[in-house]
Amino acid sequence: MLQSTSTLNVPKEGQVAQPTTKPGLTDAQVEFLRELVIKGGPEVQDYDRLVDLVNGLDPEQYPAFREIIAPALTEYSLQGWTLHKPFGYAGDFMVIEKIYQQYVSPNFLYRNWDRFYHIQHAARAVRNRKEFFKQLCARLESKNNSEKHVLILGSGPATDVFEYLDSRPDSKIHFELIDWDQNAIDYATEKNREHLNKITFHKMNVLRFRSHLLYDMIWSAGLFDYFKEKHFVYLLRKFEPLVAEEGEMVIGNFSRKNPTRCLMEAMGEWYLNHRSEYELMKLCLEAGIPEDRVMVDREPLGINLFLRIKGRG
């Protein structure tokens, strides 16, 4: 059986030399990966083998793995975009938008890599959270007929807002969107050009935001997973007082049970602070928010968890 060769295979005297392997991966793995590259990405029958291969790698083997599939990791594939981070950070508005739109490259060399990307649990969870957001907005609006205020931290492409407002031209929600990336703000502005009377953009770091308003909902998805505990708790303390009495704050965080974690890290160097329900609850307690005002919710796959913190009412 071929084995992983992070150590050197120096044949002893009289021994037949073993087949040469790429550092860290077996010859069979290398051959499989090269075949995928040549045929323009995995086909459905290759998915399980590729996922198993990646899940079985040691993080030290990731660079060798990426080297073999390097031709697929240009900015024209989603994996390559994720890896190269053209906007300077992982999870930029464009990659999130491509996940929402299930964008597939027209180029034969990348098409099947993109299809593989979208089928992964993490991408599906991202799409699910957009639906989750729209449901929360609809529920908020169904309470009564008064005007509502929703604040979004790390708004990215604002496709969630766009889809909601597009389906509800008579919506009474005014959205305030915070993002520190001007490219994200520009994209979201253009995307929502027909709804700009219901949106205010703030181009700034969420850590610096100030407001005298109280919000019916404060929503954040795809942001807190990037923060270490200290900043997470700081932001909870900062924004919780801005929740209206009957309102709520909803904070997304990827679960430790994310089955796509190895793929994200091995292919895209996309690192999140995955957290369990228990860890999320604990952060609330550290922020001084009592347990009886907090619950942990989830999208249907249970991968994107949501801390739901009730207002003080």
Ligand X SMILES: C[S@@+](CC[C@H](N)C(=O)[O-])C[C@H]1O[C@@H](n2cnc3c(N)ncnc32)[C@H](O)[C@@H]1O
Binding residues (CB under 6 A) for ligand X: these are 91, 93, 96, 154-157, 160, 178-181, 184, 205-207, 221-223
Nearest-angstrom CA–CA distance, 186 and 209: 19
At its nearest, how many Å lie between ligand X and the CB of residue 89?
A: 7
Closest CA to 263 of 106, 168, 123, 102: 123
Residue closer to ligand X (CB basis): 120 or 155: 155
- CB closer to ligand X out of 157 and 311: 157
> Computed from CA positions of residues 186, 124, 219, 150, in that sequence, does the dihedral angle turn out positive or negative?
positive
Q: Running DSSP on this structure, what letter comes out for residue 15?
A: P
Question: Which three-class secondary structure state does DSSP give residue 252?
Answer: strand
Q: Which residue is nearest to ligand X (CB)?
A: 156
Which is nearer to ligand X, 80 or 154 (by Cβ)? Answer: 154
Between 65 and 224, whose beta carbon lies closer to ligand X? 224
Gap between the terminal Cα atoms of the chain: 65
Find the shortest distance in angstroms from Cβ 180 to ligand X.
4
Strands 304-310 and 294-298: antiparallel
Shortest distance in whole angstroms from residue 82 CB to ligand X:
11
Burial code (b: 16+ CB inside 10 Å, e: under 16) for 90-128 equals bbbbbbbbbbbeebbbeeebbebbbbbbbebbbbbbbbb
Q: For ligand X, give the closer residue by CB, 101 or 107.
A: 101
Beta carbon of residue 237, minimum distance to ligand X (angstroms, whole number): 16
In terms of CB distance, is 231 or 312 closer to ligand X? 231
DSSP 263-295: HHHHHH------B-HHHHHHHHHHTT--GGGEE
Nearer to ligand X, 33 or 165 (CB): 165
Q: How is 147-201 classified by DSSP, letter by letter? A: -EEEEEES-TT-HHHHHHHHH-TT--EEEEEEES-HHHHHHHHHHTGGGGGGEEE
Rounded least distance, CB 206 to ligand X, Å: 4
Nearer to ligand X among residue 39 and residue 208 (C-beta): 208
What is the closest distance, in whole angstroms, from the C-beta atom of residue 286 to ligand X in the complex?
20
For the bound state, the minimum distance from the C-beta of residue 9 to ligand X, rounded and expressed in Å, comes to 43
Q: How far is the CB of 62 from ligand X (least distance, A)?
A: 22
Name residue 219's amino acid: W
Q: Using the 8-state DSSP alphabet, how is residue 24 labeled?
A: T
CA distance 200 to 175: 6
